[in-house]
Structure 1
Amino acid sequence: MISPAAPAEPKVTSSDPEVVAMFDWARKKANSWVQLPGTTGPINVDEYQTGGTGTAPYAPTYWAGYANRSAYYSRDMTHQLAGAHLIGLDTENETMLRSYAASATAEHKYFPVWSLNFDAKTYLSIDYKSPDNFVREVPTTFELVEKAAQAYLWTGDRRYVDDPVLWDFYRHATEQFIDLHNSARPNGKVKVAEGTGNGIFSGAASYNEQDGDGLAEAGDGIASEYQAYLAMAVLARGKGDTALARTYDKRAADLKAYFNDDWSGTGSGADMVRAYTLSGTPVTGWGKENSVFMPMKQIIEPGARGDAYLDYIEAQELGPEGSPNIESTMYLPDMFFKNNRDDTAWQWMKKIYGERELQHVNSSQGPNGDYPEVSFTLVSQTVEGLMGIAPDAADHRVTTQSRLPSGMKWLQAADVPVGTGTITVRHDGATRTTLTNNAHGGAYQWEARFPGVHKKIKVNGVPQRVRTKTVGGVTYTYATPTVRAGATAVVQVAD
C-alpha cells in the first residue's frame, strides 16, 4: 500500500513557470512511490511471477526500479536518495541503506545485493539465485558509501556514523572489497576495484550493461571509488576520527592523480580512456555510464581536457549513439551542474520532464514518468542543482550557489529540510541570494558563493571585505554570515 502523504513538502516558486510545474509534478509523483510501513504486501513480484511468491510486512521503503517489481534497486536508490530526503523520507533512506549494508557479507565478497523486496530483508528472486550467482556491479558498492555520507550531510543523523552495520559496510567497501576484486590489472600504488568481465550475475565492472562484458575496470567504477573515499573522510570526521579522515582524503587524492596522470591515458574527447578489458587493453570512445560518471563524480581534473570530455558526452547523447533509456540520461543534469554548465543541465531537465509520457524502453514499465527515479531526481536536481544547496547539518553549515540558467530571473526553494529544521533560499540571478533559517533554535553558518571575482559584496546591505576561493577549478566570491533561528540574511555581489 502506498503511503498517503509526504512528511515534508518543500515548495518552489520562480519567474519561470516551467520549473514550478516540473517540481510540483516531481514532488507529488515521488511521494506516490512510498510504501506504508507495516502493510503486508507481495514479495518477489516481477514480469515472470506477477503474483509473487508470498507476502511479508513492508518496512519503511520506496520504489526504486521497475514499477512492476516489488523491490528497490541499489543503483536507483542511490540516485533517488537526495530527492527522497527532500520530501521527508529520511527513515526510508536509512532503512534501505542499512539493508544493503547488511547484505554485503563476506560470503558475497562484500558486494551488496542488487535488489531487495519492500520488507527490506528478502533479496528479489529475479536478481538473486545464490551467494555466488546474483546481480552485482562495482559502482554501486561505492555509491552506497557516497550516498550514506550525503544522507549524513543533509540530516546530521548520528546513525550514519554510529551504527555498526553501516560503519562495517563503509570500511569493508573501501578496504576488503577492493582487495578481493583487484587481480586482473596492476595499478601501481593505488587500488582499483574490478569486475569479472563475465556479466552482471558474476560481477560487472560498469553500470553500462549493454557494453560491460569483458571489462575489468570502468570509468564509473573508478570514479565512484574516488567519491567513496571522499565520503569516508566525511563520515570519519563525523565520527570524530580525524586521522582516518586524513587517510581517506589522501587515498582520494592519490586515486584522482593516478586517474589523470595514467589511467585515463593522454587522449582528449573520444580518445580519453574510459575502461580497460581483462587483458589490459584500454577502451576509448562512447561508454554511456562509464563515460558520464567520470565528470559527474569529478575525478577528471578541471581544465581543457575535462571541458573537451563534457563536449564529447553532450555530442554523443544528442547524436544517434545517445541512450534511448531514460535511466542513463537522468544522470546528465547532475553531471552538467557539477561542472557549472547550468544552461545545459537545465535543458536536460526539461527534456526528461518533457518525455515523461513517452513509453519506457521496457514496455512492461509503462511511461517514463512512472519510472520512480525520474521524479525523485528532478526534485534533487532542482534543489541541489539549480539552487546549489549543499548542507553540513551536523556542523550547522550550508553552502549555496546560484545555478540559474539564462532567462530564469529568480528561483526560490522554501522549507528545504536540513537537519531537524528547514531553510528557505532564493536566488535573484547570479548576484543576489537570500537565506532564511526557519528552525526554532540553532544558527547556521552560511557560505554564499558567487562564481567569478566581484569587486563588491554586501551582507544585509553592509559592505564586506571581498574574499575569493577556488573550488573545482572555479573561483568564487563569497561571504559567511551567521543566520540565527528565525532570521533572514541577504548576500549580494556587484562590480
Structure 2
Amino acid sequence: MKRFLIISWLLSCCFTAFSQGAVFTTTDTAVQQAYRWAAGMVQHYRGNATDPAGPWYEAALPARNAFCMRDVAHQTIGAAICGLDKENRNMLRAFATHIAEKRDWCSYWEINKWALPAPEDYRNDREFWYNLNANFDLLFACWKLYKWTGDKSYIQHPVFTHFFDKTANEYIHRWVLQPDSLFTRPLHPNAPTPFNKQDYFHRCRGLASYVENVPDLKMGVDLIAAIYRGLSSLSAIARLNNDVAKAARYESMARQYREKIDAHWWNSGDQRYYTWYNGAGEFGTGEGEMFLLWFDALKDTARSRQTMAHLLAGRWNVETTSYLPVICYQQGYWQQARGYLLQLSDPTTPRREYPEVSFGVVEGIVRGLMGIEPDAPQRRITTLYRGQAADTATVRGLGVMNTTVTVTHKGKETVFQHSGKQPLRWRAAFAGKHDRILVQGVAMAASYQTDNNGQIISFVDIKVPAGTSWKAAIK
C-alpha cells in the first residue's frame, strides 16, 4: 500500500508538470493532500487528444468515456487550473455545435470519446434525455472561462454566438420557459408521439430541473436560477461588445426570472426555498437549492443565509457536495468550506472517484481558499486568503488572462507575480477591516466590502507592471 501511494504521488506530480497546470503547496498538510489527490485525478481523467472527439476529459460516469453538459459546465475552471484549456475549448464547442432545431434547440446531453451522442442518453433526435438547465449553464460556463482565461473565442466565436442567440430566444419559446409560463407550461412540451411515460427518453426529454427524482415535475427553481444567470451572462457579453440595447434587453429578461424566485418560491413557514413545482400544482422541497447560490440568484441576504444554513445542515450526494467548497468560501463560511474539501478527498467517502469531485476540490482550493478571481474584462485579478492564519500557501504557474501568475499568502502578507507582457490590476484583499494596506512598504487607503456572512473584506487596487513581483501586507 505504501509503495502504491508513493507511485500515485509521483504520477500526480508528473501529470501536473506535463500539463503545465498550476502547482499548489501549503503548510496545511490535510489540504495539501487533498489537492495532490485531486490534481492527480484530474489528469487521470484527461482523455486522448487523438480520439475522434478531440481533446476531452471525463465528465460523466467514468465507465462511459464521455462528457455531460452539466458536469462539464461545473468542471471547466478546475480543468483550466490544471492546464486542460484545449479540452475545455473543444468540449464546449462540441456542445454548442450540436444545438439543432430538429432537437427543439437542444444539443446532445452527453458526448462520448467517439464524438457520438452517448447511447445511455440518446436513441434518436426525438427520443433522448435532456435537462433544460444545460443550455443556460453552458452559456454561463463560457462567460466564466472568458473571465478566467481572457480567451475571447468563448464569447465571440460564431459557434458560441449562434448557440447563445438560439438559447435566449427559440429555446425559451420552444420549451415554454417565458417568465409568465413557468407554472402553466405543459408537463412534457415537445414530447414524442405517441408518448410513452414509462420510457425515460420520452418523459425526460426536456426535464425542467437538474433534480431528476420528482414525479410529474413541471418546474424546478434551479432551472429558473440557471435561466437568470445565463441571461445575465449574455447581458454582460453584449455590454462588452458595446451593444447597449441587447445588454439592456437581456438584463431586463434576467431580472424577471430572479423576481419570480423571490415572489413565488420562498416558503416563509420553513424559512427556505421550495425547489420544485409539479403537475398537481403543488410545491415541494428536495435537492436543488444549492444552484440558487451557484448561479448567484439570491439578492436577499437573510434568505441566502437561511439557504446556506440549510445546506450546511444537510447530507448531500457527492455531485451536490462537490459544488459546496467554492460556494462556502465565497459566501463567507470558510471553515465549513475546508471541511468539505477534506470530506470530498477522504478515501472513505463513497463515490469520490466521480470526476466532478476532484475538479471541484481543485477549484475550491484555488478560487476558494486562495481567493484567486480573474476578471478579464476589467484586466484585474483578485486575491484573498481564506485559510488558517498560521499557514503559508502558494499557487505557482497558474495560467489566467493570457499570463501566468504566482501567488503566495503568508501570515499577513501576499506576494503577487505575473509574467505577462501587459500590466494588469491586482486587487489585494485581506479579511477584516484595515484602514491602510502596505504595498511595497507604502501605506495605501483601503476600500471595503462585506461578504454574505457579514465579514468585512479590505482591499486595494494596484497596477502591476508586466513581469514584476509585488507585495501587499497588513499590520
Q: Same fold (TM over 0.5)?
A: yes
Secondary structure at the residue paired with 2:123?
Answer: strand
2:251 matched to 1:249? yes
Quote the residue 1:24 is aligned against.
36
Quote the residue 1:305 is aligned against.
303
Q: Which structure is higher in helix share?
A: 2
Residue 337 of structure 1 deviates from its aligned partner by 2.1
Q: In 2, are the aligned partners of 1:400 and 1:449 still within 8 Å (CA)?
A: yes
Output aligned runs, 1:36-75, within 5 Å. Answer: 36-39=48-51, 57-75=52-70
Quote the residue 2:333 is aligned against.
341
Quote the residue 2:204 is aligned against.
201
* 1:25-63 deviations in Å (ceiling 9; x for gaps): 211221121122224xxxxxxxxxxxxxxxxx3411111
d(CA) in 1 for partners of 2:399, 2:453: 29
d(CA) in 1 for partners of 2:122, 2:267: 40
> Aligned letter for 1:379?
V
Quote the residue 1:363 is aligned against.
none
Quote the residue 1:43 is aligned against.
none
- Greater displacement, 325-334 / 83-92: 325-334
- Of 214, 219, 222, the match for 2:221: 219
2:21 matched to 1:9? yes
d(CA) in 2 for partners of 1:396, 1:436: 15
Quote the residue 2:364 is aligned against.
381
Residue 78 of structure 1 deviates from its aligned partner by 1.2
Q: In 2, are the aligned partners of 1:83 and 1:380 still within 8 Å (CA)?
A: yes
Secondary structure at the residue paired with 1:130?
Answer: coil
Residue 393 of structure 1 deviates from its aligned partner by 3.1
Residue 335 of structure 1 deviates from its aligned partner by 2.5
* 1:312-360 deviations in Å (ceiling 9; x for gaps): 122122xxxxx3x322221222321231111111101100101x45553
Quote the residue 1:277 is aligned against.
278
> Aligned letter for 2:27?
S
Secondary structure at the residue paired with 2:102?
Answer: coil
Change beyond 3 A, Cα 1:334–1:191? farther
Change beyond 3 A, Cα 1:400–1:358? closer
2:319 matched to 1:327? yes
Quote the residue 2:473 is aligned against.
492
Quote the residue 1:96 is aligned against.
91
> Aligned letter for 1:295?
L
> Aligned letter for 1:77?
V
Change beyond 3 A, Cα 1:393–1:194? farther
* 1:430-489 deviations in Å (ceiling 9; x for gaps): x533211123x1111112233443222222221112323457686532211011122122
- Unaligned runs of 5+ residues in structure 2 are 1-13, 190-196
Q: In 2, are the aligned partners of 1:437 and 1:487 still within 8 Å (CA)?
A: yes
Quote the residue 1:425 is aligned against.
407
Change beyond 3 A, Cα 1:433–1:104? same
Residue 187 of structure 1 deviates from its aligned partner by 4.0
> Aligned letter for 1:99?
A
Secondary structure at the residue paired with 1:464?
Answer: strand
d(CA) in 2 for partners of 1:293, 1:192: 23
Residue 188 of structure 1 deviates from its aligned partner by 4.2
Secondary structure at the residue paired with 1:134?
Answer: coil
Quote the residue 1:141 is aligned against.
135
* 1:360-385 deviations in Å (ceiling 9; x for gaps): 3xxxxxxx32x222222211111111
> Aligned letter for 1:414?
R
Q: In 2, are the aligned partners of 1:330 and 1:374 still within 8 Å (CA)?
A: yes
Secondary structure at the residue paired with 1:68?
Answer: helix
Output aligned runs, 1:81-480, within 5 Å. Answer: 81-119=76-114, 121-182=115-176, 187-188=179-180, 196=188, 201-210=204-213, 212-260=214-262, 262-267=263-268, 269=270, 271-283=272-284, 285=285, 287-288=286-287, 290-317=288-315, 323=316, 325-354=317-346, 356=347, 358-360=349-351, 368-369=352-353, 371-393=354-376, 395-404=378-387, 406=388, 409-428=391-410, 431-439=412-420, 441-469=421-449, 475-480=456-461
Aligned length: 449
Q: In 2, are the aligned partners of 1:268 and 1:309 still within 8 Å (CA)?
A: no
Q: In 2, are the aligned partners of 1:296 and 1:335 still within 8 Å (CA)?
A: yes
Q: In 1, are the aligned partners of 2:305 and 2:452 still within 8 Å (CA)?
A: no
d(CA) in 2 for partners of 1:359, 1:471: 32
d(CA) in 2 for partners of 1:37, 1:70: 13
Quote the residue 1:42 is aligned against.
none
Q: In 1, are the aligned partners of 2:142 and 2:155 still within 8 Å (CA)?
A: no
Quote the residue 2:194 is aligned against.
none
* 1:236-295 deviations in Å (ceiling 9; x for gaps): 2444434423333333334323322x1223516555322222343222x3x12x121112
Give the CA RMSD over aligned residues: 2.7
> Aligned letter for 2:340?
W
TM-score, length basis structure 2: 0.87
Change beyond 3 A, Cα 1:189–1:208? closer
> Aligned letter for 1:449?
A
Secondary structure at the residue paired with 1:486?
Answer: coil
Residue 16 of structure 1 deviates from its aligned partner by 0.5
d(CA) in 2 for partners of 1:463, 1:233: 38
d(CA) in 1 for partners of 2:183, 2:450: 29
* 1:126-147 deviations in Å (ceiling 9; x for gaps): 2101212111112222110010
TM-score, length basis structure 1: 0.83
> Aligned letter for 1:454?
H
